[in-house]
């Protein structure tokens, strides 16, 4: 079963949206396998956003993501990477469709409330960056039959 790394960013935590965001993925049918509230260090932020180093907004991005606690999560389910990206909406909240998390709760590019891995490869890298294997819980959900028919 596919897994993805999701985090409620510092603006989402401060604006009391963590529960709402978790609730959307729960109701969709995805399974939570890792969860913690944490403060990201500049070093970890640099590793997470390494692909953006050198871009004009890089400094702001690192300052923002380290500006307060985040809720770090691992979610599991069929096609979870792409489905959660769709549920988050476009990176720029001004272009994110109503009904998506960014479309409903954000207005500005830098402060877009939530992060989700953009591919299964990124997901594996990001999960390993934020979680140790012991922090991820393997368990069976009774609802699987009603979600997947097996
Ligand atoms: P994503 O978060 O939708 O995957 P990325 O392109 O990976 O988008 O960018 C990472 C984060 O960097 C975005 O969520 C956004 O907060 C910020 N960001 C991206 N592009 C810009 C920009 O042009 N100006 C300011 N912030 C940006």
* Residue 4 in contact with ligand 1 by CB distance below 6 A: no
77 CA distance to ligand 1 middle (Å): 25
At 122, list the tokens: 């990124």
User: What distance in Å separates the CA atoms of residue 124 and residue 145, rounded to the nearest whole number?
Assistant: 26
Task: Domain ranges for the chain, please list them.
Answer: 2-136
What's the pLDDT at 93?
97
Left (φ > 0), alpha (ψ -120 to 50) or beta: where does 41 sit? beta
* Apex 55 CA angle, 50 and 58, nearest 5: 65
- What is the number of other CB atoms lying within 10 angstroms of the CB of residue 103? 16
Left (φ > 0), alpha (ψ -120 to 50) or beta: where does 23 sit? alpha
What's the pLDDT at 2?
98
User: What distance in Å separates the CA atoms of residue 99 and residue 28, rounded to the nearest whole number?
Assistant: 13
* Residue 115 in contact with ligand 1 by CB distance below 6 A: yes
Q: What is the pLDDT along the chain (150 residues), one digit of tens a residue?
A: 999 999 999 999 999 999 999 999 999 999 999 999 999 999 999 999 999 999 999 999 999 999 999 999 999 999 999 999 999 999 999 999 999 999 999 999 999 999 999 999 999 999 999 999 999 999 999 999 999 997
Q: Find how far residue 126's CA is from the centre of its chain.
A: 10
Which top CATH class is 2-136?
Answer: alpha beta
**Can you tell me which residue has the tokens 């932020």?**
45
What's the pLDDT at 96?
98
What's the pLDDT at 150?
74
User: What distance in Å separates the CA atoms of residue 94 and residue 24, rounded to the nearest whole number?
Assistant: 21
């Amino acid at each position: 079963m596919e897994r993805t790394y999701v985090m409620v960013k510092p603006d989402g935590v401060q604006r009391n949206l963590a529960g709402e965001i978790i609730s959307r993925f729960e109701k969709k049918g995805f399974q939570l396998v890792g969860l913690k509230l944490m403060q990201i260090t500049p070093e970890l932020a640099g590793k997470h956003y390494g692909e953006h180093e050198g871009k004009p907004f890089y400094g702001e991005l690192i300052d923002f993501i380290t500006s307060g606690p985040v809720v770090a999560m691992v979610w599991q389910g069929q096609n979870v990477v792409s489905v959660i990206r769709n549920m988050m909406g476009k990176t720029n909240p001004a272009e994110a469709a109503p009904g998506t998390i960014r479309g409903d709760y954000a207005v500005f590019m830098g402060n877009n409330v939530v992060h989700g891995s953009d591919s299964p490869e990124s997901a594996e890298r990001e999960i390993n960056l934020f979680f140790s294997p012991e922090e991820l819980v393997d368990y069976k959900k009774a609802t699987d039959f009603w979600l997947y028919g097996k």
